[in-house]
């Protein structure tokens, strides 16, 4: 009996500590406590920066052996955890458990400000930044701050010129996956967002939201100097330059000034970008230079398989092919005039409806198409095209 008690007291004391809630092992750096000594050792790797476990395939290092084990499944293609509802497979058990909440509707993480609920704790943390205004991710080039790390990574591609997402229809390169998804709607004609007032359709949700303000009269963006209100934030930013004196962003290489920081960033690429050796025109992206050089070389690598007509750009060939397949697929139901592009039909129909959805925020003059509004707005901003 005494021997059994001795065994219990000696070998199982850590288990007993666990049941009693005791954490006898504390980190000397941050005072975090653990029930097991091994957990403390693994935790201390965070402070020391030690990553003793190395992947034999890609040499990526980890501070915990279990992290290495999970990582190695990526190389083996192993997904051992399968959802019983939809059979979706996962590398990590934790990922599967989070996924299963979608099926049962479990949202255990609730915002204490607006009561919005989330499946993952990380989603709640990101959401709370909307209320706190916290933007912890800062660009090292221009000091612009972001709420989310993915937004910073996308932004940094403006400085590097990196455009890893390429359209398989027209070869246009884009900086982020979501922009590519939206761009593909140009080719498919998909406009999934519909105004419930005038039935006008949009390819992007944010454009629908801006459009709906025409009907509601909402102007949520207000100038803190003169109290004038605007329906779009970028219009307010442009307006504020009336008070501040105009062009505030100047190139430190050629002293050219711009109203918008984005225009300055784009312009600076000319100094470090790609220049045509024939006419010295500069481009920020090598792909645009290659397309431009075809003007000088006369190269037309994209040929129509029906009439053999050749084009310098693939997108021009795609538009041309609609001629052969009776491409005027979009017909006005008022006058039967047909158009190749749906956007042209929508713009044409405003002749019959007298709709002028594009309104100048400065003088309230309205236009039927966006390009005319942009030209008009340059009068107010003194911006040269």
Per-residue pLDDT 10s for the chain (385 aa) are: 444 444 444 444 444 444 456 888 888 888 888 888 888 888 887 788 788 888 888 888 887 888 888 888 888 888 888 998 898 888 888 888 888 888 888 889 999 989 989 888 888 988 888 888 888 889 888 888 888 888 888 888 888 888 888 888 888 888 888 888 888 888 888 888 888 888 888 888 888 888 888 888 888 888 888 888 888 887 887 777 777 666 667 888 787 877 677 778 777 777 766 788 888 777 767 788 888 888 889 888 888 888 888 888 888 887 777 777 665 667 787 787 777 777 778 888 777 777 777 777 777 777 877 788 888 877 776 544 4
pTM over 0.85: no
The reply to whether domains 22-78 and 137-186 share a CATH topology is: yes
> What is residue 31's predicted lDDT score, i.e. its pLDDT?
86
CA pair distance 121, 244, nearest whole angstrom:
42
Cβ distance 62 to 68 under 8 Å?
A: yes
> What is residue 49's predicted lDDT score, i.e. its pLDDT?
76
Cβ distance 231 to 221 under 8 Å?
A: yes
> What is residue 237's predicted lDDT score, i.e. its pLDDT?
76
CA pair distance 379, 358, nearest whole angstrom:
16
State which fold the 300-354 domain adopts: Double Stranded RNA Binding Domain (3.30.160)
> What is residue 18's predicted lDDT score, i.e. its pLDDT?
47
Sequence-separated (6 or more) residues with CB below 8 Å from residue 318: 169, 170, 187
Neighbouring CB atoms inside 10 A of 377's CB total 19
CA pair distance 118, 46, nearest whole angstrom:
28
The domain locations on the chain are: 22-78, 137-186, 300-354
**Options 3.30.160.60, 3.20.20.70, 1.10.357.10, 3.40.630.30; which CATH number does 137-186 get?**
3.30.160.60
**Options 2.60.40.150, 3.30.160.60, 2.70.98.60, 3.30.420.40; which CATH number does 22-78 get?**
3.30.160.60
Beta bridge partners of 90: 81
CA pair distance 134, 132, nearest whole angstrom:
5
> What is residue 110's predicted lDDT score, i.e. its pLDDT?
92
Cβ distance 216 to 205 under 8 Å?
A: no
Q: How far is CA 363 from CA 7, 210, 243, 260, 382, in A?
A: 88, 18, 17, 21, 15
């Amino acid at each position: 009996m005494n021997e059994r008690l001795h065994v219990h007291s000696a070998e199982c004391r850590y288990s007993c500590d666990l049941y009693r809630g005791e954490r006898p092992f504390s980190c000397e750096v941050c005072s975090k406590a653990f029930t097991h000594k091994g957990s403390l050792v693994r935790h201390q790797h965070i402070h020391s920066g030690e990553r003793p476990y190395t992947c034999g395939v890609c040499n990526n290092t980890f501070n915990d052996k279990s992290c290495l084990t999970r990582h190695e499944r990526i190389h083996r293609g192993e997904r051992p955890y399968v959802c019983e509802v939809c059979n979706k497979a996962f590398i990590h058990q934790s990922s599967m458990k989070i996924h299963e909440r979608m099926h049962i509707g479990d949202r255990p993480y609730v915002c204490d400000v607006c009561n919005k609920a989330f499946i993952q704790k990380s989603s709640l943390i990101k959401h709370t930044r909307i209320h706190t205004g916290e933007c912890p991710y800062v660009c090292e080039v221009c000091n612009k701050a972001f709420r989310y790390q993915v937004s910073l990574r996308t932004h940094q591609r403006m400085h590097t010129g990196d455009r890893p997402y390429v359209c398989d229809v027209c070869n246009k390169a884009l900086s982020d996956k979501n922009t590519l998804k939206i761009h593909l709607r140009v080719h498919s004609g998909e406009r999934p967002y519909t105004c419930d007032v005038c039935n006008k359709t949009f390819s992007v949700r944010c454009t629908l939201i801006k459009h709906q303000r025409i009907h509601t009269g909402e102007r949520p963006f207000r100038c803190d100097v003169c109290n004038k209100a605007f329906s779009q934030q970028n219009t307010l930013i442009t307006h504020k330059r009336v008070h501040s004196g105009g062009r505030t962003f100047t190139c430190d290489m050629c002293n050219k000034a711009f109203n918008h920081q984005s225009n300055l960033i784009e312009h600076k690429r000319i100094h470090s970008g790609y220049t045509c050796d024939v006419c010295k025109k500069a481009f920020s992206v090598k792909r645009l230079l290659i397309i431009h050089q075809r003007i000088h070389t006369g190269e037309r690598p994209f040929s129509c398989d029906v009439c053999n007509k050749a084009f310098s750009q693939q997108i021009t060939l795609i538009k041309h092919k609609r001629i052969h397949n009776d491409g005027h697929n979009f017909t006005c139901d008022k006058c039967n005039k047909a158009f190749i592009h749906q956007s042209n039909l929508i713009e044409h129909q405003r002749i019959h409806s007298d709709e002028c959805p594009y309104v100048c925020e400065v003088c309230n003059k309205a236009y039927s198409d966006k390009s005319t509004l942009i030209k008009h707005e340059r009068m107010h901003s003194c911006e040269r095209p």
